[in-house]
Amino acid sequence: MQQKSKKIVLMMFGFFAILILILIGRSFLVPEQATMLSHLKSDLKINIDIKRASKNLAKLISIPTITNKAKKEFIEMHDLLSAQYPRLHKTLKLRKVNQYSLLYHWPGSNKKLPPILFLAHMDVVKVGIAEQARWQHPAFSGFIDKHSIWGRGALDDKAAITSLFESLSYLLKMKFKPKRSIYIALGHDEESGGRQGAVEIRKLLEAKKIKPLAIFDEWSGVFAGNILKVNKAVALVAVAEKGYLTVSLEVEGETGHSSKPPRTTAIDRLSRAIAVLNRKPMPARLTEPVKTMFERMANEMDFSSRLVIANTWLLESLLLKELTKQSVSNALVRTTFATTVFKAGDSENQLPLNAKALINVRLLPGIRPQKVIDYIKKLVNDPLVKLSIKLPVSEASAVSSFTSPLYRVLETSIKQEFEDALVVPGLLIGASDSRHYHSLGSPIYRFRAFRLNQKDIRSVHGINERISIKNLAHSIRFYVRLLLNIEKSQFMF
């Protein structure tokens, strides 16, 4: 019996020794960064007039195109773009959509080739009165110093408009004639949902039976390594976007004098429901783009992180446990709930008749809105808490290919401009106009060619938003590279 027990212990020891060797071995087999496409030259010299581009952007910033408020300001911006880029407006076809959005079309010589579509938006979020005093330069000044262009919309999203127009103007100057048509769609209400701009542009494209080869939109960028805890800069291309759903929870209670309250008021009941949702969020899981993102960053991480990432077949729960500790990484692996509105009483000595809260939900790819509703109902488990959906609802996008020839061209274009950066696919945890173009059935890649640090990220929708002049130059050159590289790679797709 003793001999048999000894054999079992030795077998177990051997099993765990082999398992450890497998885990360690796999940590050295994480995927390497893809090599750049050999037929695309990386030594292209792109000489741009960055002073002119900076001044053009500053003038765009100075127009307060505040979402859901501006009207004449959008017309002013249309006129300014025409004045800044007369040759472009003479060459490209322009159509105004729903009065304020713009759709540009540069016809290609080969009508059989599907076009490419670039998205950007002209509107910006407002700057509150309390915020204004904290800005280093006025929010709509378009102030330029030695390093940056300042103002609301500098990063989100007017620099993209200037970059696109500057890159096309550069190509026009070089006598470039595209084989494949190029579209640029500029929405006027992205910050308030995109229903009047992006949706109407998409309907127009659908009516014309236009299915782009690819759609390129905002978000993401080239992040400093310390932000993602890796040893190199990381160029993150969002190949999917989380869904958007707002759930209303409402409770009818008893009104009356606060001196004789019932055991449970409407506020108590609603607060209890919200507390349950906070305590028991939906399960975390790794989606394919997020898993691949970590795998491609693993070689630039410490050994313990690399060990876990290379062995998610066994250690996924450990990785998820770590990721859910921080708000940003938690959002990458979980359908999140955020209470954004709570309304109840308005008098300190009167019990409110009802209480209402809005829960903003961001859905992981693969999670349908109905699954979220069922989850909340089961968890709250209170018939007196009435649940309804606030429109609009956007399902999570499909995951665009990050192994296709087209993605390889995009990857190569990024590496040509940012030689030190890892290029990885990822998931957009916010929302963009691109969600309104899902029905076109085209792959969507969300990337802006900006190097971003923590200050830059905080400034978007915040205080002291600005873009460095270097970043503006990066962005212009990137679009030139991407357009030329797609043109040179027609044989691939």
CA pair distance 486, 493, nearest whole angstrom: 9
Concatenated DSSP letters of 372-416: HHHHHHHHH--TTEEEEEEEEEEPPPPPPPSSSHHHHHHHHHHHH
Q: Decide: 243 and 396 in contact? Cβ < 8 Å.
A: yes
Residue 341: closest CA among 274, 431, 430 = 274
Predicted pLDDT at 4: 66
Number of Cβ atoms within 10 Å of the Cβ of 242: 28
CA pair distance 56, 476, nearest whole angstrom: 13
Predicted pLDDT at 2: 60
- Percent of the chain with pLDDT strictly greater than 70: 93
Give yes or no: 123 in active site: yes
Catalytic residue among 73, 157, 166, 190: 190
DSSP code at position 435? G
For 168, the enclosing helix (H) or strand (E) is: helix 159-173
pLDDT at 19 over 60: no
pLDDT at 410 over 70: yes
Predicted pLDDT at 325: 94
Upstream peptide bond of 261 is cis (omega within 30 degrees of 0): no
What contacts 297, CB < 8 A, 6 or more positions away? 228, 230, 234, 422, 424
What contacts 246, CB < 8 A, 6 or more positions away? 340, 358, 359, 360, 361, 389, 390
Q: Which CATH architecture has domain 242-394?
A: 2-Layer Sandwich (3.30)
CA pair distance 31, 21, nearest whole angstrom: 19
CA pair distance 95, 254, nearest whole angstrom: 56
CA dihedral 124, 196, 337, 221 (to 10 degrees): -50
Predicted pLDDT at 39: 82
Q: Decide: 40 and 415 in contact? Cβ < 8 Å.
A: no
Catalytic residue among 123, 200, 395, 417: 123
Tell me the per-residue pLDDT of 456-486, one tens digit each, with 9 for 90 and over.
999 999 999 999 999 999 999 999 999 999 9
The pTM for the full model equals 0.92
What residues does each domain of the chain span? 50-240+397-492, 242-394
Whether domain 50-240+397-492 has CATH 3.40.630.10: the reply is yes
Distance, CA of 76 to chain centre: 28
**Pairing relation of β-strands 243-252 and 354-363?**
antiparallel
Give yes or no: 268 in active site: no
Tell me the per-residue pLDDT of 30-79, one tens digit each, with 9 for 90 and over.
666 667 787 887 778 999 999 999 999 999 999 999 999 999 999 999 99
CA-to-CA separations, 6 to 2, 193, 382, in angstroms, rounded:
6, 67, 56
**Residue 280 is encoded by which pair of tokens?**
């028991």
CA pair distance 395, 457, nearest whole angstrom: 25
Tell me the per-residue pLDDT of 87-118, one tens digit each, with 9 for 90 and over.
999 999 999 999 999 999 999 999 999 999 99
Work out the mean pLDDT of the chain and round it to a whole number.
93
